[in-house]
Structure 1
């Protein structure tokens, strides 16, 4: 990777008052290659843009003169009480944005009571992150995101490492058997720089390539012969004691299959617009998945969350919580843990403002903000 390395700033300049401000500033410190990696999407980036735009379309319907004293943002999720419904989504190679990488993000999350999901492709050891987070009394949940590897023994050992380190749930990403056609990354010539690797995957041996006959596809007749299936999800369920959430569920039929296979939660996600372009935005996909499950397991959502009003709308549409990705990387690039904490605090403050102005004392009343009966909880 060419270009100037990210600056190890730990303080923020004046005038950052929104997540958009953080994004604009981050573009001045990220290298062109890292900017393409974190901020780019698949193909023409239609889904990438729609993820943001779709949260802006629903209109809020405020109620006035309602009792608001004693209100709060607390929610229940997998047996825990969270201070607020904002979690940090799994994102790979965060040391591309700041030398402290995932350690800084995890620290900020823990201090602000925010759930943190560590990526399989993190650039720091999973044990180091857990050690940083688990001692914080007010922390949110600590989860580990997993890609199923063709080597089941390696996958099992990685899961047991996460269990031993103190992670409280597994988040299995199921929507990326292959990478999307990421034009922006390819134009930028993105490669990992020396010293940054998927350190938790060290020792994983790639599967032996297939011998292809003339006319066969490198993708379908080689790489995808190792793609996971529902049977692999059932196998994973059998080798871990941790709750399992499936990330990348967008179809109601898949949501029902996931629960039948043992998933204890789902994340409606289109991979941030990084895999299949022209998919619908997650704001549009969420309601059908929630309706299909009828509250049987919690349904979370990510993709395009940029304002506290977006969080309130997600909760109104039936989400149990939201996950935020790119804005966290922007904060990280801008000032390490301080920048991440500022992004989380901005989003939570905006959520509280939106709740108050819509007449919602708690998030149990979120549906009312979209003009619906507040009877979800």
Structure 2
């Protein structure tokens, strides 16, 4: 199938990916109202046509936090990309670099900050949740900094993960051959991981729900 627009990737993904994996990427929480509203919000953004304008030379480059990128489009953090393809975050990092834009790596990635940095040059940000154990937060930030990441994208709208009904029905678990690489080798300290808990679900439960402007 020849892909002619972005939405066709979803059709192909549904054909190729296991249902559990596809549903994880494609679905939202509860009745998916927010997911639908996000799409509707984009549909309300319109372009104003201008006639008889010289468009022989077009430059859509812009800057984000002082970094010049080729277009006003960045790659948002998406967790566990190796569920979709063995290259996972490696391929995303290379693609972002080739396109001249910024990749934001999920802290729940299946490739570590060091592994993504090893793919070559590129401007990269690191997405971070604030955990109850601030020592874990500090370790993640230091590793991202040492790996050459340029900014932290702090997630503050998820004091509790949404109730993703598709994941509940599919009994979603991270495939056994994958792990959240950024948490390997960390001193988890008082997080006190339960032996029978998967790392993904365990880490999700450690997000600090008391976070507020006062706590920050």
- TM-score band (shorter)? 0.7 to 0.9
Deviations 1:144-168 (A, max 9, x none): 1111121112211211111111000
1:1-377 superposed matches below 5 A: 14-134=1-121, 139=122, 141-202=123-184, 203=186, 204-205=188-189, 207=191, 227-233=210-216
C-alpha distance 223-150 of structure 1, shift in aligned 2 (>3 A): closer
Which whole-Å CA distance do the structure 1 matches of 2:190 and 2:16 have between them? 34
C-alpha distance 232-56 of structure 1, shift in aligned 2 (>3 A): same
Higher CA-based Rg: 1
TM (normalized to structure 2)? 0.86
Task: Check whether the contact 1:103–1:129 (CA below 8 A) recurs between aligned residues.
Answer: yes
Which whole-Å CA distance do the structure 2 matches of 1:100 and 1:58 have between them? 34
Which whole-Å CA distance do the structure 2 matches of 1:165 and 1:59 have between them? 39
Unaligned runs of 5+ in 1: 1-13, 210-221, 234-377
Task: Check whether the contact 2:23–2:166 (CA below 8 A) recurs between aligned residues.
Answer: yes
C-alpha distance 15-177 of structure 1, shift in aligned 2 (>3 A): same
Which whole-Å CA distance do the structure 1 matches of 2:42 and 2:65 have between them? 26
C-alpha distance 169-232 of structure 1, shift in aligned 2 (>3 A): farther
Q: CA deviation at 1:133?
A: 3.5
Task: Check whether the contact 1:90–1:117 (CA below 8 A) recurs between aligned residues.
Answer: yes
Which whole-Å CA distance do the structure 1 matches of 2:108 and 2:208 have between them? 22
Q: More helix by proportion, 1 or 2?
A: 1
Task: Check whether the contact 1:36–1:190 (CA below 8 A) recurs between aligned residues.
Answer: no
Find the counterpart in structure 2 of residue 304 from structure 1.
none
Unaligned runs of 5+ in 2: 194-204
Which whole-Å CA distance do the structure 2 matches of 1:223 and 1:103 have between them? 27
- Report the count of equivalent residues: 203
C-alpha distance 120-59 of structure 1, shift in aligned 2 (>3 A): closer
Which structure has more relative contact order (CA 8 Å, sep 6+)? It is 1
C-alpha distance 87-198 of structure 1, shift in aligned 2 (>3 A): same
